[in-house]
Structure 1
Amino acid sequence: MSSKFSLTGLSDIALGKDLRQEHAVAGKRDSLTVLNSVSFFLAGVSVLFLIAFQINESVSLTWFFLSEAVAFLLIPLLARQGFEKTSKFLLIAYADIGIIILSSVFGDEAMIQAFFVPAVGLSILLFDKNELRLRNLGIMLSVVSFFILDYIIFDRISMTEDGYSLIRWSMLSGAFVTTWLIFNTFSEFKEDAEHQTLELLKKEQELNRELSNKQEKLEEYISQLEDTSNELSKSARAKSEFLATMSHEIRTPMNAILGMTHLLKQDNPRKDQIEPINILDFSGKTLLGLIDDILDFSKIEAGKIEFETVEFRVYKLVDVIMDSFKVTAKNKGIELSSEINDNVSKKLKGDPARLTQILNNLVSNALKFTEEGSVKLEVRQLPLPEQDDKVRLQFAISDTGIGIKKERMDSIFDSFTQAKHNTKRLFGGTGLGLTISKQLIELQGGSIAVESEPGEGSTFTVELDFEKADVREEPLRLVKNAQKESELNGVRILLAEDNLVNQKVMIRFLERWGVDMKVVDNGRQAIEALDEEMYDLILMDLQMPEMDGYEATETIRKLDDPYKRKIPIIALTAAALKEVREKVFAAGMSAFVTKPFNPADLERKLTEILKK
């Protein structure tokens, strides 16, 4: 049955288009094309005869040809509803009946019966070779009609007026019956179509309800996702705030411990005081290293680690690392040495702080797990023929320590993991050093590898790429007496620091450098002190009561006095997080010093700021 019906589609049927397909194709089936074309042609002919007999006031023939015209118009539609074969026989039958009626009206002399020949041909065109029986029946229908006309109506029967009336009413009855069958079929199709439409509407309503339910669930999931995302954001912020707070709270007393230890070393201690002071210094720096490892591990996990690109000298960097471990190696009786190949570039661009951190971790591990023998750091430059502006350095840290078993090779870079289960108990440490080093190396596009034999030692090899830097000859500097006068002598500095212990530590350092200083407890007092007199520089702590360092700096930058408004301000921060550093510069500070600070670094930074 057809899935689509419209009286407006009669022109499509006349052109042989298949209404059962969304993409109608003219002449898709030849027999249907013939049926459509002949039906509409004969409908037109019937209309012409209808008009002719209406003019001659022949009522019976007028109604007959009216019924013929309607039948010829409806036959193609009937074929589209699935009654294709019936439609073809009706077309042949109506054509034959029309020929018989016309022949009866006009008589034998008009030779209307000659049209039975194309009627026979029509049967051949309508039924293909696969429908020979139906074709033959159609042909027989036309032949029988011819013989009825030629041998019965014309020659053997003398029709009375009542006979003609009988034939006329029989034909009209047949036409009405045919019309009734056609419209009954259309009615069934319409009901079926309406039923299908209702079912489709019900399915659409069900789908809409399902879609609505799914949309509600989706909105609920989105809401839950937003809540989860908000919770994660809060958790991340809480974690960052916790790290910042812990960093500040731990580094603040560490600044006092390491600062006082440094002062004690410089105060010519007695021999019996030297060892306790060294132990205190070593323990403080170890604790600071653990804190830095945990903070760096959290930064790497959060994807917030960043690298800078500055110029540095490899020789100087290696010398600083070796100097920092000399005392440890000497105390353990281990030979500590370094070797830099002659082809290594003197000056490079990269992140010297992260490189120092990586090498410090590896050298520290080598010394920790070596009880006798040696630890050596070798630096080589590898060729990079396709990179004229870059070089690749290879750092090899070898030791004669306890070594690592093969089955533990891969796990030593895992978080909180060491080579042996009892290593943590024997040697201490968090097990984060190698993890952080590996991640820092890989984040810079480098690689790390290890070779080791249990009981014979290990060799860690690091490869990193650096940019070449312009090498300019620096003027020779004369080495002055260690007791030389500081360049800060006579400089007026305002110190804003709320921690009493850190105040004392800073005062001791600044007094040694000949600084003329004033100490206040918070940012508000710093602004009041600056109103009273002029200072060359301000050292500003960040977290203080009443007014913190950020607010105090912003207030100073808005002062009317142009000289005081532009005074250099250096932040003293115990927080080593990037967010804090960004906030420092956003507030208008000139630089920052991280607690616990290295006295030499602080002095150098103060001098550089004052020379600008």
Structure 2
Amino acid sequence: MIYQFYKNEKALIDYSNKAALYALSKSRFLANMSHEIITPLNSIVGFSEQLTQVDLQAEQKEQVGAIRNSSVMLLDVVNDILDFSKYETGKVTLEQIPFSPYVAIHDVFDSMKIQAEKKKIGFHLNMEIDKDLYILGDPLRLKQVVMNLLSNAIKFTAEGKESLNAALQNLESNNTRLKVSISDTGLGINPVDQKIIFDEFAQVYYASTKEKQQGTGLGLAICKKIVEFQGGTIEVKSIERKDFTFTFELPYQITNKPVNQELPVSKLEIEAQVLAGKRVLLADDNMLNILLASTILRKYKVTFDAAYNGREALDLFYENNYDLVLTDIQMPEMGGIELTQKIRSCEDKSKNSISILGVTANVMQEDRKKYLASGMDELVLKLFLEQELLEKILKFIRK
């Protein structure tokens, strides 16, 4: 009997180790696969953004808009897969910064209003939160949950209305709970499907309407993982063919209003005027990525040299003086990490302290730590848009 206990325990340990290894391998595969998709998507989204700023004919604008919308939809699918992979393996880091829950929720609500208006359904917001009250947490994750739930509600509502209710509880202490409820008058689901609605890849098929839903079936699963990862709860109540109500609660700590706020786009463009005459070294084996980055830099009168692998970039670095290096992580002959290490080990102190921004589609936390540990100052994640790239460059370029 003792031998059987030992044998069973050993089998469980082996199975647990294999499961952990499988989860890590799957996470790695998804990250690499997503990187290969995001790299060309970076060019599609970036160039379509630049084309929207050009004086085009009406038909051409419509075509560019179609390209952009399709690529953004594809990007959403890739991001869903990446997000789920990160939460599944627990390799995710939550920010702890002061933010206004009123502003965060209002921003998402306003951005989703257009979709509701297109379907001609009511869209109501009831928020009993002081605009000047700030909490400590991750605003991006809160927005992600609210956006996923609102998008899901709009998708399943043909007529009627959507309602978003938000309130903070236990305000008499520093610790509070944010309660958000999103209701709709959509199709609803039966009690059996309610039990699996938060499972990954779960999609309800409505035979009566013959409606086939688009997407990965990961949206609600990601919401559940985000909420529970922060110590919160999420649930659904529904009456089939009548309504849905998703409710989630998240614990937060009340804090003071931050002093520094992000620059608005208009002010950012004014600040970007200091970039005129600066010199940047671009290193990327993808010619389209070089073309996109150079298109943005030219707008602000930044001069640049382009290298298509790390070794070419290193030679240019030794030959010339630059104000910033923008390098891809994965390149032939010499990658971004090795290039960064070579630059940091340069004997010329006036050159080895240059700011280095790494460009990558890999968002895994352990890889981010590895990239920054190599000597990079910050990462620029693909897909980057003009404003995002400018913000990073302005923060780190030599003044």
TM-score exceeds 0.5: yes
- Specify the code of the residue in structure 1 equivalent to 2:204: A
**1:496 has 2:298 as partner:** no
* Aligned CA distance change for structure 1 residues 444 and 227 (closer, same or farther; 3 Å): closer
Candidates 514, 528, 553, aligned match of 2:340:
553
> What residue is the counterpart of 2:101 in the other structure?
314
- Partners of 1:346 and 1:609 lie apart in 2 by 31
Normalised by the length of structure 1, the TM-score is 0.58
| Aligned partners of 1:247 and 1:576 also within 8 Å | no
> What residue is the counterpart of 1:349 in the other structure?
136
- Specify the code of the residue in structure 2 equivalent to 1:397: I
> What residue is the counterpart of 1:411 in the other structure?
196
- What is the SS of the residue equivalent to 1:256? helix
> What residue is the counterpart of 1:399 in the other structure?
184
Deviation per CA, 1:141-168: give whole Å up to 9, x if none.
xxxxxxxxxxxxxxxxxxxxxxxxxxxx
Q: Which has the higher helix share?
A: 1
* Aligned CA distance change for structure 1 residues 383 and 546 (closer, same or farther; 3 Å): same
> What residue is the counterpart of 2:254 in the other structure?
468
- Partners of 1:358 and 1:399 lie apart in 2 by 16
Instruction: State the 1:479 CA deviation.
Output: 9.0
* Aligned CA distance change for structure 1 residues 502 and 333 (closer, same or farther; 3 Å): farther
Instruction: State the 1:510 CA deviation.
Output: 1.8
> What residue is the counterpart of 1:430 in the other structure?
216
- Partners of 1:518 and 1:530 lie apart in 2 by 10
- Partners of 1:424 and 1:443 lie apart in 2 by 35
Bigger-Rg structure (1/2): 1
> What residue is the counterpart of 1:451 in the other structure?
237
**1:439 has 2:251 as partner:** no
- Partners of 1:447 and 1:425 lie apart in 2 by 30
**1:379 has 2:166 as partner:** yes
* Identity within the alignment, %: 38
> What residue is the counterpart of 2:147 in the other structure?
360
| Aligned partners of 2:232 and 2:251 also within 8 Å | yes
Matches for 1:568-587 after TM superposition, within 5 Å? 568-587=355-374
Structure 1: gaps spanning 5 or more residues? 1-213
Deviation per CA, 1:49-88: give whole Å up to 9, x if none.
xxxxxxxxxxxxxxxxxxxxxxxxxxxxxxxxxxxxxxxx
How many residue pairs end up in the alignment?
397
Candidates 62, 69, 78, aligned match of 1:282:
69
- Partners of 1:591 and 1:449 lie apart in 2 by 38
- Specify the code of the residue in structure 2 equivalent to 1:552: L
Candidates 378, 383, 387, aligned match of 1:596:
383
- Partners of 1:237 and 1:473 lie apart in 2 by 40
Matches for 1:223-238 after TM superposition, within 5 Å? 235-238=22-25
- Specify the code of the residue in structure 1 equivalent to 2:194: M
Q: Which has the higher strand share?
A: 2
Matches for 1:11-50 after TM superposition, within 5 Å? none
- Partners of 2:287 and 2:235 lie apart in 1 by 48
Normalised by the length of structure 2, the TM-score is 0.87
- Partners of 1:218 and 1:413 lie apart in 2 by 36
Deviation per CA, 1:505-559: give whole Å up to 9, x if none.
2122222233222211111111111111111111110000000000000111101
- Partners of 1:315 and 1:510 lie apart in 2 by 36
* Aligned CA distance change for structure 1 residues 474 and 256 (closer, same or farther; 3 Å): closer
Deviation per CA, 1:224-271: give whole Å up to 9, x if none.
899878766764553343222112101101111111221122224332
Deviation per CA, 1:268-290: give whole Å up to 9, x if none.
43322343333332322222222
> What residue is the counterpart of 1:610 in the other structure?
397
* Aligned CA distance change for structure 1 residues 229 and 530 (closer, same or farther; 3 Å): same
Structure 2: gaps spanning 5 or more residues? none
| Aligned partners of 2:168 and 2:177 also within 8 Å | yes
Instruction: State the 1:464 CA deviation.
Output: 0.8
> What residue is the counterpart of 1:530 in the other structure?
317
- Partners of 2:337 and 2:192 lie apart in 1 by 52
Instruction: State the 1:567 CA deviation.
Output: 0.8
- What is the SS of the residue equivalent to 1:364? helix
- Partners of 2:167 and 2:24 lie apart in 1 by 43
